[in-house]
Amino acid sequence: MAKIKNPILQGFNPDPSICRIGKDFYLATSTFEWLPGIAIHHSKDMVQWQLICHPLTQSDQIDLRGMIDSAGIWAPSLSFADGLFYMVYTLVRTRVGAYKDVHNFVITSPSIHGPWSKPTYLNSSGFDPSLFHDADGRKWVVNMQWDHRPHRPNFAGIILQEFDAKQEKLVGPIHKLLEKDLLIEGPNLYKHDEYYYLMLAEGGTGWNHGISMARSRSVTGPYELDPQPAVLTTRDHPDYPLQKAGHGELVRAPDGQWYMAHLCSRPVGKNRRCMMGRETAIQKVTWTHDGWLRLSDGGVLPALEVEIPDVSQDAMDNKTRCFVDDFNSTTLALDWSTLRVPAEESWLSLSARPGHLRLRGRESCQSLFEQSLVAVRLTEPTCTAKTVLEAAPKTYQQMAGLICWYDTKTHFFLHLTHDETHGRVLCIMFCDDGQYEELRDVQIPVNDWDKCHLCASFTEGNLQFTVSKDAKNWQTIGPVFDGSKLSDDYGDGLHFTGAFIGLCAVDMDQQQLLADFDCFELTNHLTPLQTNSTNATGVRA
């Protein structure tokens, strides 16, 4: 018997949906405004997970142009029945204010690798749908209902409606299953022994998050609440290393043991910000003699380590410490994501200059439409990212470089641009919760540099940029930033995605600046989960 350390999927991997077919486990997570849409990981042992595919890859499947930050694709739910994989998910177009313009869809595929069907519309009553396949062959969609009216709870309860797979649409009456005083969302249905169980995410997806249960002898209710208010939560333990625990799904292993996949976050620094966003963890769970779900270790706190049978310690210690892309492939590695639009040859090419990734500059870093930005998830708070850039900007409106990203309102951009006095220069621009700044006083002229070696180093939330002409002699550029601002917990309003780091090219004059990147390397420096650490002072408090 070995133990696995949580989280099992580090970095921005929220709203996990887990299922098993034979000896294969699959985990699907939300991607929000990032494409390709919905990340699916595979494992044989629930210890070693590999990103294998994304169901939403084509423009005719998904259009996120114009979507605001933290909108897009929410809470996918993966299931398998009748020889088909089913994926239901929400497309969020409006998330700020009284209204939620949300549309729920289902896609199917005979293989987890696809091809996946074009989306079929289900409803728009609320978000977080899941699909339950009953033993009698009937299928049911369950989702939360949104109420936009003033002076009423926005979370208006959990509703259920039958799904006709042949007609590919919802049919029959709508049943309201449950309402609670706490915010409830992320519903999932299960059948165990003689009961139908409703698993709920409650309390919002932040520090008050948790999982609760209800049950009924009929799928349409009435449902009785679990006498224990929460099965899983960290809301009463603010110093616990894993926070925001909630939004989970159940899976049964081949040996009959039950497990729960759920989201969590790891706070960083004195400000306790969750730079890696909402990640995925797993817990062992059991059913009590009176038929309620409980954590196997007792209590409600997520275990930092979970016992997994028949897994060697060598396999468990094989954590990914380094991601390297030399751009020698003709296809973009699965780890990369783009904002709102797919990676297409019109702006991103691996063939125009073999061994390089070429970006054509497009709209600004604050655009919601056509950015030339490709990035990978930040998976540890202490890490180093490096790349090599060649570009020839002719105007200050052209920029290319290494970007540390949360969203259009908060990011740090080490870039090569053109200055009217000094020619080609390296400098830093950043956006701090919507306030745009440029550090022109620390720019470095590089007219005699053939290549620009760029580096971003995070140390428990502190961010320092360095540059080099030859990858041997490095010099710092700019101050130590408070990189922990790249988190769900900084700024005005609700945010739902974690930090990314990647490559970006901007050409606001639309002359299509060409930026060639030779290799990208992200090295993680793993540290144990801690409750406290130091943090730098940022440019703006």
pLDDT tens digits for range 176-193: 999 998 899 999 999 999
**CA–CA distance, 506 with 517 (Å, rounded to integer):** 14
Share of the chain above pLDDT 90, in %: 90
pLDDT digits (tens, 9 = 90+) for 431-448: 999 999 999 899 999 999
Per-position b or e across 469-495, b if 16+ CB within 10 A of its CB? beeeeeeebbbbbbbbbbbbbbbeeeb
538 falls within a domain:
no
380 occurs within a structural domain:
yes
Same domain? 366 vs 259: no
pLDDT at 309 over 90: no
User: Is the residue at 531 inside a domain?
Assistant: no
Q: 229: cis peptide before it, omega within 30°?
A: no
pLDDT of residue 529: 59
Binned at pLDDT 50, 70 and 90, residue 536 comes out as: very low
For residues 303 and 360, membership in a common domain is answered with: no
Q: 81 and 227 share a domain?
A: yes
Structure-token pair, residue 90: 């929400």
pLDDT digits (tens, 9 = 90+) for 496-535: 999 999 999 999 998 889 999 999 999 998 766 543 333 3
Radius of gyration of the chain (CA): 23
Domain count, the chain: 2
User: Is 199 found in the same domain as 140?
Assistant: yes
> For position 384, which CATH number holds?
2.60.120.200
- Structural domain for 335, as ranges: 322-524
Specify whether 306 is located in the same domain as 328: no
Residues designated as active site:
370
Q: Which residue, of 316, 339, 364, is where some domain finishes?
A: 316
Please report whether residue 448 resides in a domain.
Answer: yes
Say if 537 falls within a structural domain: no
Please say which residue of 316, 333, 362 terminates a domain.
316
Same domain for 209 and 233: yes
What are the CA-CA distances from residue 53 to residues 50, 166, 248, 253 (Å)? Answer: 9, 26, 21, 22
What does the alpha-carbon distance between residue 486 and residue 431 come to, in Å, rounded to a whole number? 11
Does residue 293 surpass a pLDDT of 70? yes
- Classify the C-alpha dihedral 239-243-249-254 as positive or negative: negative
Q: Residue 2 — very low, low, confident or very high, per pLDDT cuts 50/70/90?
A: confident
Higher pLDDT, 459 or 312: 459
Q: Which of 124-128, 181-185, 263-267, 449-453 has the lowest mean pLDDT?
A: 181-185
Residue type, 516: D
With CA atoms as reference, report the closest residue to 99 among 65, 126, 73, 128.
Answer: 126
pLDDT band at residue 308, thresholds of 50, 70 and 90?
A: confident
Choosing from 259, 284, 316, the residue where a domain stops is 316
What are 483-499's pLDDT values in tens digits?
999 999 999 878 999 99
Beta bridge mates, 389: 452, 517
Give the separation between CA 447 and CA 424, rounded to whole angstroms: 5
User: Both 235 and 296 in a single domain?
Assistant: yes
Decide if 150 is inside a domain.
yes
Q: Is the pLDDT of residue 314 over 70?
A: no
> How does pLDDT run across 197-230, given as a tens digit for each residue?
999 999 999 999 999 999 999 999 999 999 999 9
Do 283 and 389 lie in one domain? The reply is no
| Cα–Cα distance measured from residue 232 to residue 438, given in angstroms and rounded to the nearest whole number | 44
pTM assigned to the model: 0.95
Tens-place pLDDT, residues 366-405: 999 999 999 999 999 999 999 999 999 999 999 999 999 9
Q: Are residue 127 and residue 83 in the same domain, yes or no?
A: yes
Residues 306 and 333 in one domain: no
Structure tokens at 283: 């817990």
Lookup: tokens for 540 = 């703006």
308 with 327, same domain: the answer is no
Residue 359 included in any domain: yes
Shared-domain flag, residues 417 and 454:
yes
Has residue 397 been placed in a domain?
yes
Whichever domain contains 147, its CATH number is 2.115.10.20
